[in-house]
Amino acid sequence: MERDVSMSFGVQGGAEGTIRNGFSAGALPRVFVGRKYIGGAEEIRRMHEEGELEKVVEGCEMVDDGGGGANGACEACGDVRFVPCETCSGSCKIYYASDEEDDEEEEDEVSDEGEFGFHRCPDCNENGLIRCPICCY
């Protein structure tokens, strides 16, 4: 499975943590098979030239893309694995309106500042995206 680490900080952080644990920092792309770090472009090329790459990916499932078209792609995300958040429409902000009756009652009690107005959407990542509900769950 291919992942674009720029789409979500959570995915990016997980990949960076794995690379930092005993591997030298470097440019992308970085290749993982399952949870095992294989290497960067140079390592993959070397493994291919030495015939080792086929052994590493031997147990992986071959994906049929339907002849190069979008026939096999997810209808919701196009195999990007992320879609815009439906809660905030990708803006990362949601507005909580105040009820005037509730405001008067709450003034007597302990007031929670920032309860009303714009707040960070709790459903999406920093880019206003959520995992595709069709192919990622």
Cα separation of 79 and 84, whole Å? 14
Share of the chain above pLDDT 70, in %: 61
Q: Is the pLDDT of residue 12 over 90?
A: no
Q: What is the pLDDT of residue 122?
A: 94
Q: Residues 51-107: pLDDT tens digits?
A: 998 888 888 877 665 444 456 788 888 888 899 999 999 999 999 887 655 555 545
With the C-alpha atoms ordered 118, 120, 122, 126, is the resulting torsion angle positive or negative? positive
Q: Where are the domains of the chain?
A: 1-62, 71-137
* Pair 80, 134: CB distance under 8 Å: no
Structure tokens at 11: 């995915």
In the 8-state DSSP scheme, what is residue 79? T
| pLDDT classification of 26: cutoffs 50, 70, 90 | low
Q: Average pLDDT, stretch 21-34?
A: 69
pLDDT for 119 beyond 50: yes
pLDDT at residue 135, as a whole number: 86
